[in-house]
Every structure is written in C-alpha cells, then in structure tokens.
Amino acid sequence: MSSPADISCPELAERMRAAGLVRAFMVRDPDGGAFVASDPLLEPLATWVEREAPDFADHEGIFLQVGPASGTLQGAFVHRTCRGQAAGGVRYWQYDSVADFLADGLRLARGMTHKNALAGLWWGGGKGVMARNTGRRVEDPATRRVVYEEYGALVTAIRGCYVTAEDVGTSVADMAAVFSRTRFATCIPPELGGSGNPSVPTALGVVRGMEAALEHLGLGTLAGRSVAVQGLGHVGEPLVRFLLECGVERIVGADIGPGPVARARALDPDRVEARVTELDDPSILFEEVDIVAPCATGAVLGPATIPGIRARIVCGAANNQLADPESDDRLLAERGVLYMPDFLVNRMGIVQCADEDVGTLPDDPRIVRHLGREDEQGIFRLSLEILGEARRSGRTPHAVALELAERRSLERHPLWGHRGLEIIRAILRDGFAETGR
C-alpha cells in the first residue's frame, strides 16, 4: 500500500510550491499532543511519520523548506533537545523518495542525540538534509551558494533550536554561505573564527577506538596489524596516515574515486594497497585483515555483508553503519566480530564544533582530552569501560553504549533546561522567525 511518503522529493517540492509554502513544519505538540503539521498539505505526512515511519523515535520536530530561488528541498530534523540545542551537520545527498529523505534525517538526528550525549556535550541531537535531486543544478558555485544561504535562512527561521554544521556533501566553504544567513552554524571557516574541517580529529578518534578494541581483546597495539578502509575521503585519508604512524603493517583501501585512491597509495606505496571500486561493491569489507574501518556511507553492515566479514574488529567513522541497529548488531556478535559503535568513536567532528562560540585555543585542552588516554570520558577509556560492561553483562558494546547515551540524553541542560521545547512551542504558536528575504 502506498503512503504519503512514497512520492519523489521533486514532487513534494512542487506540491509545496503550488500550495504557496516556502516553509512548513511537523512537530510534536510540546503540551503532550500529537505530531502536528503547520499546513493541511503536510497533515497526511505528519500522521504517517508519527504512526509508521520506521525511524521515528519521538522526534521533537521536522522543519521543511523549498528554497525560494533554488527550488531545493531542505529539512532540519530535531530529535531531542533536553541537553541543549539540537546539533548535527547538514547532508546534501540524492534521495529516491520522500520516505528516504525523511528516514535519513530522522535516523541521523537520533544518532546525533546519542553521539552528543555520550561525548558529554551539552547539546541535543539534530540533522540537516537537503535533496540534491531537487531544484536547480548546483554545478556552478553561485547557485550552490544560494542553496546554502537558503538553508541558513531555514536554520534562522527555527530560532536556534537546531545548530548546524558540515556533513557529507557539504564543505567548509558551503558553511560560510550558511553562516552568512544564520548564527546557528559551526564548522565555519577558521578565517571567520570557526574550527573548519573536523575530519582529522575524527580520524584520530577512530584510531583511539581501534586501540581500545585491540586492548580489550588482548591483542596489543596497532603495530604490525592490518586494516581495511572503505572510503578514503576527508576522514579515510588521515586515518590511513595515522595508522601508518602507529606502525600498521598493511592497509587495504577502496574508494569510488581515483583521486582519493591515488592520494592514499602515495602515503606509503609499500604498505598501502588501494583500489577504485564501484558504489555497490562491498568487497573491501571482506578483506583478510584485523580491522575493517567503514568510512564512506552508512548502512553497510547488514545480512548481505556481515557473513563475509573476516576481521575481528569493525571500527570506522561512517554514521549509522548498521542497516538494522538491533538485528545486525546481534548478527555481528554471533559471528564473533567486535563492532565499535560509530557514535562512540566518530564523535570528534561534533566535538570540534561544540566550543566554537566560546573562543578558540591552540591545541584546545577540551578537545585533546577526548583523544587522550587519561580522561575517563575520552574515546579510549570510555570505549574500554563500555567493552568491559558489555563483557560483564553479556550484551553487545552497541547496546551498552546506546543505553548510556540514551540516559545521558535525557539529562537537562544545567543552565537552560529543556529550552528547545520552549522554542518549538513558540514556533507552533507564532510560526517561523522572520529571516529577511
């Protein structure tokens, strides 16, 4: 049976335009009501999201916009704001249907709730999503800038209940365009006072996760080990570099682009084998190595791939690696594969964004502690703690990390309480904030 989400993104954008809607929202009425839409056009979709969308988990709100000049379908997804403003990057990606668009936004926003809470940040979870297959083509830089300026205006319109950042498909330069229309943006270029691209610390965080996994299994250090890296982009490339520095003996890498492959190989042609692969070729995950590091897209671990994994450990940067968080987590455990929860080890991107508006310090100690071995909330020690608890309780590390993250995400911000809900209440009552043009 078809659902209101079984339409294409261009079709939803067209319907919104035809109804004269630039912006619209679907939010949970903070006073205990249902998930309601701002316009009758979206009412069937809001009902479907609340009752049937597989990734809906009591999200606080979904805010949609069709860029007035670009025609791009844009969304800001707010999962939970107990710990503070919802925070997470904006993904610019191709979506086959509105259901896919909503699924990505809902799932990624929830993932950010858990990542931010586990990292001890006073932030909630949110995500921006833009459909690349809607609106004007963005090959030319001027149009691309318009897309991101319009997205910035959407973020301003929702009054700061969500703070945006960079994610797949978005660059630091794009963030400058976002920042030109909203103050609720991080990862902006250093020359504007921001922290820029967070991928290098993200890669180092993944290394810390790998080290914790090896130590937990009694396998020593990374020296002499072998690692397969799927995706040699902003995170994958520095990851290869750090692994070489740690004495990894053999690295096998794969990317769909020849450029990243050539750059990775050039780091050390003797120890790095890298190949160009197809988008639907998962064979890099099946390499005979100690560790597999998914650093490309999400949902790469599922029934079709897990049986082929020969590594003892999976630890990578990609968000939402498990296609089905429960059954695939179990399947990995049954096969004796230690899966390091993505939201535990890939936190450094958002951590780097977190303190951007309170001033910058060289080698900021608040950031460094996440990567050190001393702080019990840093990636290394917290990973060991979670792995130990998983062993003691007979659960998976993913389940243990999720429970801890969920608990922390419900703590209220010490100064601001659950202000995000107050903002959503204001939007429900008075509509979007004024954004100029």
* Closest residue to bound ligand NAI by CB: 233
Site for ligand NAI (CB under 6 A): which residue of 33, 44, 193, 257? 257
Q: Which of residues 95-114 bind ligand NAI (CB under 6 A)?
A: none
When the beta carbons of 10 and 169 are compared against ligand NAI, the nearer one is 169
When the beta carbons of 234 and 265 are compared against ligand NAI, the nearer one is 234
Site for ligand NAI (CB under 6 A): which residue of 30, 75, 196, 231? 231
Which stretch, 67-75, 79-87, 144-152, 230-238, contacts ligand NAI (CB under 6 A)?
230-238
When the beta carbons of 64 and 295 are compared against ligand NAI, the nearer one is 295
- Give the residue carrying structure tokens 């004024």: 434
Rule CB under 6 A: is residue 128 a binding residue for ligand NAI?
A: no
CA–CA gap between residue 369 and residue 204 (Å, rounded): 12
Site for ligand NAI (CB under 6 A): which residue of 4, 75, 128, 233? 233
Rule CB under 6 A: is residue 285 a binding residue for ligand NAI?
A: no
Expressed in angstroms, the distance from the first to the final Cα of the chain is: 40
Site for ligand NAI (CB under 6 A): which residue of 167, 174, 290, 329? 167
Cα 134–138–143 angle (5° rounding)? 110
Rule CB under 6 A: is residue 230 a binding residue for ligand NAI?
A: yes
DSSP states of 350-364 as a string? HHHHHTGGG---TT-
DSSP states of 336-350 as a string? T-EEPPHHHHSTHHH
Please give the size of the binding site for ligand NAI, defined by CB under 6 A.
Answer: 28
CA–CA gap between residue 201 and residue 177 (Å, rounded): 24
State the nearest-atom distance from the C-beta of 391 to ligand NAI, in Å: 26
Q: Please list the active-site residues.
A: 127
CA–CA gap between residue 81 and residue 270 (Å, rounded): 48
CA–CA gap between residue 83 and residue 81 (Å, rounded): 6
When the beta carbons of 126 and 349 are compared against ligand NAI, the nearer one is 349
**Contact in structure between 168 and 91 (CB atoms under 8 Å):** yes
CA–CA gap between residue 328 and residue 322 (Å, rounded): 6
CA–CA gap between residue 81 and residue 27 (Å, rounded): 13
State the nearest-atom distance from the C-beta of 236 to ligand NAI, in Å: 6
Beta strands in 13-161 (DSSP E): 23-28, 35-37, 61-66, 73-80, 86-93, 124-131
When the beta carbons of 238 and 397 are compared against ligand NAI, the nearer one is 238
Q: Which of residues 198-217 bind ligand NAI (CB under 6 A)?
A: 198-199, 202
CA–CA gap between residue 112 and residue 118 (Å, rounded): 10
- Give the residue carrying structure tokens 């990578």: 316
Site for ligand NAI (CB under 6 A): which residue of 168, 337, 371, 384? 168
When the beta carbons of 219 and 256 are compared against ligand NAI, the nearer one is 256
Which stretch, 172-180, 207-215, 293-301, 418-426, contacts ligand NAI (CB under 6 A)?
293-301
CA–CA gap between residue 190 and residue 174 (Å, rounded): 13
Which stretch, 14-22, 37-45, 254-262, 376-384, contacts ligand NAI (CB under 6 A)?
254-262
Question: What residue ranges bind ligand NAI (CB under 6 A)?
Answer: 167-168, 198-199, 202, 230-236, 254-257, 260, 277, 279, 295-298, 317-319, 346, 349
